[in-house]
Amino acid sequence: MTVLYSVIAIGGLVGNVLTCLVIARNRSMRTSTNYYLVNLAAADILTLTLALPIEVYQFWEQYPWLWGDAACRVRAMVPETMAHVSVLTILAVSGERYVAITNPVYARTTHTLARTAWVVPVIWLVSLLAAAPWGYYQQVNLLPYPNQPLKFIPESAWCAIPFMGRDTGFSWLMWMSSVGAFILPMTVLVTLYCRIGMVLAIDPPTRTPTAGDGAMHTRKLGIRMLVAVVVAFFLCWAPFHAQRLMFAIVTSSNTWTKALLHANAKLYFFTGACYYLNSAINPILYSVMSVRFRNALRRSLCGGRDWARRQHHNRSNTVVRTRELSTASTRRLQEVSNRNGFGVHYGFEKMDMEV
């Protein structure tokens, strides 16, 4: 698990940092949609740098918890805050794309960078408030000495929700988290993208007569990338929330057995890997699904404007060389035909000089 988590952390950090770098260094990429993707990348970076290392540490040293009760409560709030930021960001960018497709005239007047600049802080504030109850319920727990129930063993301190006691009032929080941060958002996202698919199935000129086929094709590619992000979100988070709901149900009914505890421990490792994998997979989807993002990444890594200037210079030279070759070939063939007395012009096949 340590090796797996390390690979996820390194790959995710590199990918998300490059995502932010690409959008920052390429002016053409500074759109409201891409700013939401930067916000998503920032949440993923914080997840991989703050939440994941502590979890790896607890694989090796779960007892005792050394950093006190306040750090324990913050540890519970950080991943929940980042999770809500990711969910709300995906909802925001999907809603923006929905409006852009169904009502492009209205979208041009409302989907501005200034609007995105105040939506992003609202996302973080709402996420922090939604994660606050987790800081209330999670605490440092201690086991009592066998014959002294009022005296606790310091070495047994661990940071978690005390699920083995009689108080199961926290189970509502797990239900609210799974419904509010996964089930309800996925229902909204599926509805939005089904509606977008229906609109895009209509003849594009009748829908956006000023956009043209090229603009509509670009929009379709952007929608496909966002759909891939949503599908990855579902596949990575569905096991996590399924295990969380199982935990809440068994705890509420007070039916924990050794078999269930063993199964919950195994699921904890698997769902944790899926949870953190979601923070590393989005940059891969951008590179695979978006040609524009790949080109911007090349410009950022290969010298920015100098790279673009070299590419343009190479393309210009290619066109010139091809034209010169074509003209020379035509002249040569015409000279041969005239020397042989034939009054015809031989056709030739243009050579592609581009690599």
pLDDT at residue 210, rounded to an integer = 45
Instruction: Measure the CA–CA gap between 293 and 144, rounded to whole angstroms.
Output: 57
Q: Which of 9, 29, 17, 38 is nearest to 294 (CA)?
A: 29
Instruction: Let me know: does 281 contact 8? Beta carbons within 8 Å.
Output: no
| pLDDT computed for residue 118 by the predictor | 87
Which pLDDT belongs to residue 355? 32
Mean local confidence (pLDDT), 309-321: 50
* Amino acid of residue 238: A
Burial class (CB in 10 A: 0-12, 13-18, 19+), 318: middle
| Rg of the chain taking only CA atoms, in angstroms | 28
Q: What is the DSSP letter of 106?
A: H
Structure confidence by residue, pLDDT tens digits, 154-191: 888 888 877 655 555 677 888 888 888 889 998 998 88
Please give the residue that has the higher pLDDT: either 248 or 41.
41
Q: For position 176, what pLDDT does the model report? A: 87
Quick one: pLDDT at residue 166?
Answer: 53
Tokens of 75: 């540890």
Tell me, what's the pLDDT at 128? 93
Average the pLDDT over each of 241-245, 297-301, 314-318 and give the range with the smallest value: 314-318
The answer to whether 270 and 239 have CB atoms below 8 angstroms apart is: yes
| Percent share of the chain, pLDDT over 70 | 76
DSSP letter (8 states) at residue 23: H
Mean pLDDT of 136-146: 84
Give the separation between CA 342 and CA 200, rounded to whole angstroms.
56
Q: By mean pLDDT, which of 4-13, 75-84, 286-295 is the weakest?
A: 286-295
Place 354 in a pLDDT band, splitting at 50, 70 and 90: very low
Lowest mean pLDDT among 163-172, 280-289, 341-350: 341-350
Question: Binning pLDDT at 50, 70 and 90, where does residue 318 land?
Answer: very low
pTM: 0.75
Residue 228's Cα: distance from chain center in Å? 9
> Does 286 score more than 90 pLDDT?
no
Over the chain, what is the mean pLDDT?
Answer: 76
Domains of the chain with CATH codes:
2-301 (1.20.1070.10)
Instruction: Give the residue-averaged pLDDT of 32-50.
Output: 90
Residue 231 in contact with residue 281, Cβ under 8 Å?
Answer: no
Q: Is the pLDDT of residue 339 over 60?
A: no
The terminus-to-terminus CA distance of the chain in angstroms comes to 44
Residue 170: helix, strand or coil by DSSP?
A: coil
